[in-house]
Amino acid sequence: MRAQQYPRRSRSAFGGKAWSGMRGVSGLLSVVLLSIIVLTIACAGGASTAPTTLGAPATSTRAVAPPPATSASPAPTAGTLAPPVELKIGTPLTIGETPLYLAIEKGYLREQGLSIETVLLPTAEQMIPPLSAGQIDVGVGGLGPGLYNAVARDIKLRLVSFGAIHAPGRSSWLVARKELVDSGQLTDYADLKDKTLAAPGGTTVTHFFFDKARVRGGLAPEDVRFSALSFPDMVVALANGNIDVAFLPEPFASQAVENGIGVRWKPISDVAPNFPAVIWMYSQNLIDTQPEAARRFMAALLRGAQDYEDAIENNRGRQEAIAAAIKHTQIKDPALYDKMIFTKAPPSGEIDKRTLEEVAAWFRSQGAITEMPDLNKVVDTEFTTYAAQQLRSSSR
Q: How many domains does the chain have?
A: 2
Residue ending a domain, among 271, 286, 307, is 271
Please indicate, yes or no, whether residues 80 and 202 belong to a single structural domain of this protein.
no
Q: Give the domain range for residue 358.
A: 36-55+66-167+275-395
Domain termination site, one of 216, 239, 271 = 271
Handedness of CA 281, 286, 288, 293 (dihedral sign): negative
Q: CA of 232: how far to CAs of 1, 37, 214, 229, in Å? A: 30, 11, 24, 8
Q: How far apart, in Å, are the Cα atoms of 386 and each of 254, 360, 376, 382? A: 37, 28, 19, 6
Residues 233 and 88 in one domain: no
| CA–CA dist 128, 154 (Å, integer) | 12
Task: Check: CB of residue 268 under 8 Å from CB of residue 275.
Answer: yes
In this structure, is residue 10 part of a structural domain?
no
Q: Are residues 318 and 373 in the same domain?
A: yes
Q: Tell whether 353 and 219 lie within a shared domain.
A: no
Same domain, 266 and 279: no
Between strands 138-141 and 157-166, the pairing is: unpaired
Identify whether residues 224 and 190 lie together within a single domain. yes
Q: Are residues 213 and 239 both part of a single domain?
A: yes
| pLDDT at residue 82, as a whole number | 56
Domain assignment present for 231: yes
Going by the DSSP 8-state scheme, the letter that residue 45 receives in this structure is T
Q: Are residues 162 and 105 in the same domain?
A: yes
Tell whether 17 is covered by a domain: no
**Strand ordering across the sheet containing 262-267:** 225-228, 196-199, 245-248, 173-177, 262-267
| Strands, sheet with 85-91, edge to edge from the N-terminal-most edge strand | 3-5, 114-120, 85-91, 138-141, 275-283, 157-166
Please check whether residue 203 lies inside any domain of the structure. Answer: yes
The CATH number of the domain where 202 resides is what?
3.40.190.10
Domain membership flag for residue 19: no
Within a domain: 1: no
pLDDT of residue 78: 38
Q: 154 and 47 share a domain?
A: yes
Rounded Cα distance between 169 and 55, Å, is: 41
For 139, the 3-state DSSP assignment is: strand
Question: What CA–CA distance (Å, rounded) separates 289 from 59?
Answer: 27
Domain assignment of residue 84, yes or no: yes
Is 6 within a domain?
no
In terms of domains, do 279 and 381 share one? Answer: yes
Q: What pLDDT does 393 receive?
A: 82
Annotate 379-390 with DSSP letters as a single string. B--HHHHHHHHH
Which helix (H) or strand (E) segment holds residue 257: the answer is: helix 252-258
pLDDT averaged over 10-residue windows placed end to end, the chain, 396 residues = 42 31 39 36 33 33 33 42 83 94 97 93 88 96 92 92 97 97 97 97 95 98 97 96 96 95 98 96 96 97 97 97 96 95 93 96 96 93 94 78
Q: Which amino acid is at 254?
A: S
Do 134 and 251 reside in the same domain of the chain? no
Residues 261 and 285 in one domain: no
Among 244, 271, 298, residue at a domain's last position: 271
In sequence order, what are the beta bridge partners of 247? Answer: 174
> In the beta sheet, which residues pair with residue 245?
176, 197
The DSSP bridge pattern shows strands 157-166 and 245-248 to be unpaired
What is the dihedral sign for C-alpha 121, 123, 125, 127?
Answer: positive
* Contact present, 76 and 134 (Cβ < 8 Å): no
